[in-house]
Structure 1
Amino acid sequence: MLVWMFLRAAAQASIVVLLARQLGSQAYGQFVAVIAVASIFTPFVGLGLSNMVLRNAARDPAHEAIYFAHAVRWWWRSWLPCLTVAAVAAITLLPNGLPFAAVCAVIGAELLTASLVDLRARHQQAQQNTHIYGAINAGLPAIRLLAFGAFFVTTEKTDAAGILWIYAASSLIYAFFMWPMASSQACSSDALGSEPMTVSNGLPFSLAAFAMKLQGEFNKPLLARSGFGLAGTYNVAQRAVDMASLPLLALQESLWPRLYAQRNPLPQLRRTGLVLLMLALALSCVLWLAAPLLPWLVGPSYESAVAVLRMLVWLPLLQVFRALLNFYAIHHGHMLLIGWAYAIGAAVSVAGVMALVPALGMVGAVLASYAAEAAMITYLFVMTRRQVQ
């Protein structure tokens, strides 16, 4: 499982480095702005039912095909409305000058493939086929990386339009390979299992993922309106933090099941939480010191990414603290607080980006990210203490 996770991360990091170096900050900024708009709406394709497939198929394996078939049916129904909304958002948010046909192709392919991969992977995860689950998730960035590599080997073009078409085509090819596995099991979708499988069950998962996407991606189209180079530069710095944080995230994912299994996990939470915070602080310090190496890795047009990276390096520390508060809230049965925290974080992030980015550019995007994390942490800290007491 961990091997597949790191292969996926390696493929994603390689894509960032390859595209950033080959395209330069301007064309790369065009690419990431389009992908950002598409990814914001991806959680609504399937209406969050992939998460219900994971839960229900694990609880009721005898009817796993029924749950999966029901999710596939809603996945088909929701794709076109989401594509329409995402296309309108792209027209509204993105500046002029982008190839419209390529933009629509990328949005459609991203919504279709990313949601299908998630649905197919969750189905395998519910059946405890961890290697297939990991392979499905790692396969999509891998085939995109191969497609981009072949494109740059066979042509000298370095424009965003070509990359957008390659991204769309490689995504659809992967969906083509995923679809037979989905369609072969998408039968008897009108039958019922023993577990609830309604849209209202899945939508909270969609809303939570949507809130996180807004917090992480809404800044890209707004930065692009001030200059595509700003969007490209900011994305490089942001992805550097994300990739460096993966080992920390893996440690957290291995910790939570052990804590949930304990009758009184709070003493252990304090001890291991302190260790995680110290590791996050160490990671932030290493990133701050290593930031000047970023232009050497992705190209000289990203010199300004060094300052942005150094401003973003303290985010993992806040994110770990928020994750510890999340566990504390879940342990005491206050899951609703986490949903509200995500909603507050998304609202603060969007408001901050809209207010600060036009005036401050990338600095405004950084400030909005910290404001969102601070708002979520404050809300969780105050509300959990109030409700537990």
Structure 2
Amino acid sequence: MQRLRAWRPGKLAKGTLAMTAGLGLRTLGQAAVFLIVARVLGVEAYGAYSAVLALAMVLGWFVGMGVSGVMLRDTARDAQVFEQAWGRTLAALWITAPPALLLYGALAWLLLPADIHWDVVMGFGVAEILFARVGHAAMQAYQGHERMGRAARMHLAPIVPRVAAILPLVIGVVWLRAPDPLFLWSVLYLIAAALAAVYALARLRQDFGLAFTPVWQGLGRAMRDGWPYALGSASGKVYVDIDKLMLARLGGLEAAGVYSAAYRFVDMAAIPLAGLYGASVARFFRAGEQGVGSAARYALKLLPVPLAYAALTGAVFFVSADLLPWLLGADYAGAAEALRWLAWLPLLSVPRDLLQQAFIGADRQHVFVLVMGCAALLNIVLNLWAIPRWGWQGAVGATYAAEFFMIAWLLTLLLGIGRTAGRRLD
């Protein structure tokens, strides 16, 4: 008891609380947006929205080719390099955004259902592929300095204008009877994303006195170091969101809407976990300078609390799933059963996330890319087989199978590295 009374939160605890507070406010905003947008759009239009957003977010991770991740890593180890690293991040954003938008347009034409209008596709695409990447880079700049309060603001920045956009959406659909609610929401979403990017750049200028001039020197090396971050993050997004896109194409927009609504609740419950990972990322990079074993020991130290939290949220979701139709409307009756199926997904994600953080912190991004890429491919193959047979239930089963696959592979690699290091010491 004496030790407990004497305890004071350290920098990691404070950083975790700051990130969780910011992400928690983001979650409240996202929840408000989700509940109202889902009701206003209806289950089919919400399914279309989820499918378009999934594709845009996947392509968005290729913008910058991971150079902002290199900036975070280098700044965490030596803050003196930050200004040059930020300039290279801007240069990478400049040269990669246009081809990413072109590729997004081509994939949208190939993969999305034909009844989703092209202006809707481009509205969400520009928001996520261009403006959202600026805000993400700004957040990583603060993470590199372990200024988690500011990083939390960057997480929150896109949500505030999005919450404000709810009012014109409701007015446009409910009172003015807008003929295409999804198009209206895509326009409002794009405006909100642009405002968030402007805020992020203004905040960086005020806090660091940064000039927004691209730095081309050293960009090639930074992109060579950064592409595993980009490819790994894109693979992770494919793994998480490809089932929504495939459900829209193979199972119909209604099935995609039901599944996406349930998955959204699971995503929001994982916000405190994201707060912990965001607060600890600089420490993983420092621990990783001593090798992957050191980073893995740090991951093991963090494991008990997020694991207990994930188990608790899974139980809560399983018990309270029947409230979903009451919250979202009768169209989402199937989302209750989908939430019960997805309730235990965060429990599997915790050890996988921490193992990935350990490999990334030790500069073994290629391991993260390989494992996540193979898991994304496995998820696609399983979904192609399972969705036509069982609909969203098949998508859930494919997700769980891919999670087990990643955990088993990462543990095998970690144990193999440990045995190799032991033999070298002998």
- TM beyond 0.5: yes
Distance 1:351 1:20, change over 3 A: same
Distance 1:179 1:327, change over 3 A: closer
In structure 2, how many angstroms separate the alpha carbons of the residues matched to 1:43 and 1:254?
21
What is the match of residue 241 of structure 1? 266
Distance 1:119 1:324, change over 3 A: closer
- TM (normalized to structure 1)? 0.88
Aligned: 1:167 with 2:189: yes
What is the match of residue 391 of structure 2? 361
Q: Which runs of 5+ in 2 are unaligned?
A: 1-17, 420-426
Select which of 1, 9, 14 maps to 2:32. Answer: 14
- Report percent identity of matched pairs: 27
What is the match of residue 101 of structure 2? 83
Give the 5 Å matches for 1:209-288.
209-225=233-249, 226-250=251-275, 257=283, 260=287, 273-274=303-304, 276-288=306-318
Aligned: 1:311 with 2:341: yes
In structure 2, how many angstroms separate the alpha carbons of the residues matched to 1:336 and 1:239?
29
In structure 2, how many angstroms separate the alpha carbons of the residues matched to 1:35 and 1:76?
22
Specify the code of the residue in structure 1 equivalent to 2:67: L
Distance 1:297 1:346, change over 3 A: same
How far 1:274 moved relative to its partner?
Answer: 5.0
In structure 2, how many angstroms separate the alpha carbons of the residues matched to 1:250 and 1:87?
33
After alignment, is 271-280 or 378-387 more displaced? 271-280
How far 1:364 moved relative to its partner?
Answer: 1.4
Matched-pair contact (CA < 8 Å) for 2:148–2:279 = no
Give the 5 Å matches for 1:64-75.
64-75=82-93
Q: Which runs of 5+ in 1 are unaligned?
A: none
In structure 2, how many angstroms separate the alpha carbons of the residues matched to 1:122 and 1:204?
16
What is the match of residue 129 of structure 2? 111
The CA RMSD measured in Å over matched residues stands at: 3.1
What is the match of residue 386 of structure 1? 416
Give the 5 Å matches for 1:92-241.
92-156=110-174, 157=178, 159-179=181-201, 185-187=211-213, 189-191=215-217, 197-225=221-249, 226-241=251-266
> Secondary structure at the residue paired with 1:198?
helix
Matched-pair contact (CA < 8 Å) for 2:90–2:213 = no
Matched-pair contact (CA < 8 Å) for 1:57–1:127 = yes
Distance 1:370 1:324, change over 3 A: same
In structure 1, how many angstroms separate the alpha carbons of the residues matched to 2:370 and 2:203?
36
- TM (normalized to structure 2)? 0.81
In structure 2, how many angstroms separate the alpha carbons of the residues matched to 1:108 and 1:18?
23
How far 1:82 moved relative to its partner?
Answer: 0.3
Matched-pair contact (CA < 8 Å) for 1:66–1:192 = no
Instruction: Say how many residue pairs are matched.
Output: 387
Specify the code of the residue in structure 1 equivalent to 2:191: A
What is the match of residue 49 of structure 1? 67
Specify the code of the residue in structure 2 equivalent to 1:388: G
In structure 2, how many angstroms separate the alpha carbons of the residues matched to 1:104 and 1:124?
30
What is the match of residue 344 of structure 1? 374
In structure 2, how many angstroms separate the alpha carbons of the residues matched to 1:307 and 1:363?
9
Distance 1:276 1:97, change over 3 A: closer
In structure 1, how many angstroms separate the alpha carbons of the residues matched to 2:355 and 2:217?
40
How far 1:37 moved relative to its partner?
Answer: 0.9
How far 1:178 moved relative to its partner?
Answer: 4.1
Q: Residues 246-285 of structure 1, C-alpha deviation per residue, up to 9 Å, x if partnerless? A: 3344456667859959998988976864564344323212
Matched-pair contact (CA < 8 Å) for 1:106–1:164 = yes
Q: Residues 168-210 of structure 1, C-alpha deviation per residue, up to 9 Å, x if partnerless? A: 22222333444566796123624569xx952111101001101
After alignment, is 10-19 or 266-275 more displaced? 266-275
Matched-pair contact (CA < 8 Å) for 2:239–2:376 = yes
> Secondary structure at the residue paired with 1:45?
coil
In structure 2, how many angstroms separate the alpha carbons of the residues matched to 1:134 and 1:270?
25
Distance 1:265 1:198, change over 3 A: closer
Specify the code of the residue in structure 2 equivalent to 1:98: I
> Secondary structure at the residue paired with 2:394?
helix
After alignment, is 374-383 or 107-116 more displaced? 374-383
How far 1:106 moved relative to its partner?
Answer: 1.9
After alignment, is 283-292 or 116-125 more displaced? 116-125
After alignment, is 165-174 or 79-88 more displaced? 165-174
After alignment, is 337-346 or 39-48 more displaced? 337-346
What is the match of residue 423 of structure 2? none
Distance 1:57 1:269, change over 3 A: closer
Select which of 13, 17, 24 maps to 2:42. Answer: 24
